[in-house]
A and B are shown apart, each in its own frame.
Chain A
Amino acid sequence: DIQVTQSPSSLSASVGDRVTITCRASQRISNYLNWYQQKPGKAPKLLIYAASSLQSGVPSRFSGSGSGTDFTLTISSLQPEDFATYYCQQTYSTPLTFGGGTKVEIK
Chain B
Amino acid sequence: QVQLQESGSGLVKPSETLSLTCTVSGGSFSSWYWSWIRQSPGKGLEWIAYIYNSGSTNYNPSLKSRATISMDTSKNQFSLQLSSVTAADTAVYYCARVMLHGGPLYYFDYWGQGTLVTVSS
Contacts and interface: CB of A to CB of B under 8 A. Distances in A.
A and B held together in a complex: yes
B47 interface: yes
B interface: dominant SS: strand
B47 A95 contact: yes
Interface string B23-34: 000000000000
B109 A91 contact: no
Contact of B47 (A36, A46, A50, A97): A97
Size range of the interface on A?
Answer: 20 to 34
B107 A95 contact: no
Contacts, number: 57
Size range of the interface on B?
Answer: 20 to 34
Contacts of A43: 94, 96, 111-114
Interface string B77-115: 000000000000000001010010100111111011110
A50 B101 contact: yes
Contacts of B120: none
B55 interface: no
A98 interface: yes
A76 B40 CA distance: 31
A96 B99 CA distance: 14
A101 B44 contact: yes
Interface of A: 30-32, 34, 36, 42-46, 49-50, 55, 87, 89, 91-101
